[in-house]
């Protein structure tokens, strides 16, 4: 059964730093992987979607990579800002076409 | 912009009460989903629907039911609320690949 893990559960960095969030999954048979952002008390917003045939996707200061063979994805945030503070979740669409979610990484950017 | 709305942001109910959580989307999406989100756990799928009057069980359907009488509305029903159903409930709709989420309903069952 597919399992998705995000480590660390929480991360605090000073403003301006580049940072990497990690997501790992146990079964490489996936259709795609998505990164979402969740602000406190709010729903989720999709950030990036990487198809299984792709290696990375970029949107502004965000870059997501996918290595299916090793079961890993990273979300790179460049020049972090206080407004980037949120919980970041990754989810994989598995062979049954279901989304399997990680528990998220809570990111705090200190001004 | 896609808009997914949920009827309540916060709810407090007593054990044994029947609870209705409503979700409405305005983008004519075929697929709608109900999740619950608990600290330290990923989102867990309760039920989903891919068409009007159609429903499929997710990973944790026990204690819940759903209704989809109209395309834009997907309701989650707790027939007899229990304290272990205290959680954040998230609704989403999707035309295909990407899911669009509502703001969530934080439910406390006393």
Report the residue from A32, A42, A100 with minimal CB separation from B97.
A32
**A21-58 confidence digits (pLDDT tens):** 999 999 999 999 999 999 987 789 999 999 999 999 99
| Half-sphere exposure of residue A15: CA atoms within 13 angstroms, side-chain side | 5
Picking from A42, A98, A102, the nearest residue to B42 by CB comes out as A102
Number of neighbours of residue A104 by Cβ within 10 angstroms: 26
What proportion of chain A, given as a percentage, has pLDDT over 70? 100
**Alpha-carbon gap, residue A41 to B12, rounded angstroms:** 16
Average pLDDT for A62-69: 96
**Residue A43: per-residue pLDDT:** 83
Residue B101 parent element (H or E): strand B100-101
Supply the mean pLDDT for chain A: 94
* Chain B residues within 8 Å of chain A (Cβ atoms): 4, 9, 40-45, 58, 90, 92, 97-104, 106
Residues of A with Cβ-Cβ distance to B43 under 8 angstroms: 89, 91, 99, 101
Burial A58-81 (b: 16+ CB within 10 A, else e): eeeebbbbbebeebebbbebeebe
Residue B107: other Cβ atoms inside 10 A: 21
Choose between A1 and A62: higher pLDDT: A62
Contacts of B69 (CB under 8 A, 6+ apart): B52, B53
Alpha carbon distance B1, B50 (integer Å): 21
Distance from CA of A90 to the nearest CA of B (A): 9
Edge-to-edge strand list for the sheet holding A56-59: A4-5, A19-25, A72-77, A62-67, A56-59
> How do B87-94 and B100-101 pair as beta strands?
antiparallel
Q: How confident is the model at residue A95 (pLDDT cuts 50, 70, 90)?
A: confident
Structure confidence at residue A78 (pLDDT): 97
DSSP string, B59-87: S--TTEEEEEEETTEEEEEESS--GGG-E
Which pLDDT does position B40 carry in this prediction?
85
Nearest-angstrom CA–CA distance, A102 and B74: 25
- Kindly determine whether residue B4 and residue A43, on different chains, have CB atoms separated by under 8 Å: yes
Whole-number percent of chain B with pLDDT over 70: 98
pLDDT digits (tens, 9 = 90+) for B48-101: 999 998 999 999 999 999 999 999 999 999 999 999 999 999 999 999 878 999
Count of pairs with CB atoms under 8 A, one residue in A, one in B: 45
pLDDT score of B76: 98
């Amino acid at each position: 059964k597919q399992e998705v893990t995000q480590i660390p559960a929480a991360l605090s960095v000073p403003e301006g730093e580049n940072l990497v969030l990690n997501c790992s999954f146990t079964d490489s048979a996936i259709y795609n992987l998505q990164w979402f952002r969740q602000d406190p008390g709010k729903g989720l917003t999709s950030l990036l979607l990487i198809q299984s045939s792709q290696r990375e996707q970029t949107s502004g200061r965000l870059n997501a990579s996918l290595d299916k063979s090793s079961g890993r994805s990273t979300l790179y945030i460049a020049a972090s800002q206080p407004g980037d503070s949120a919980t970041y979740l990754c989810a994989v669409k598995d062979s049954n076409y279901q989304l399997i979610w990680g528990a998220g990484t809570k990111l705090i950017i200190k001004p | 912009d896609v808009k997914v709305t949920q009827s309540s942001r916060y709810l407090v109910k007593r054990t044994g009460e029947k609870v209705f959580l409503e979700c409405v989307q305005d983008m004519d999406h075929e697929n709608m989903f109900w999740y619950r989100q608990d600290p330290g756990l990923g989102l867990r799928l309760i039920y989903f629907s891919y068409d009007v009057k159609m429903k499929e069980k997710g990973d944790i359907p026990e204690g819940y039911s759903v209704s989809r009488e109209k395309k834009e509305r997907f309701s989650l029903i707790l027939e007899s609320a229990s304290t272990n159903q205290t959680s954040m409930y998230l609704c989403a709709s999707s035309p295909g690949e990407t899911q669009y989420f509502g703001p969530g309903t934080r439910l406390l069952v006393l």
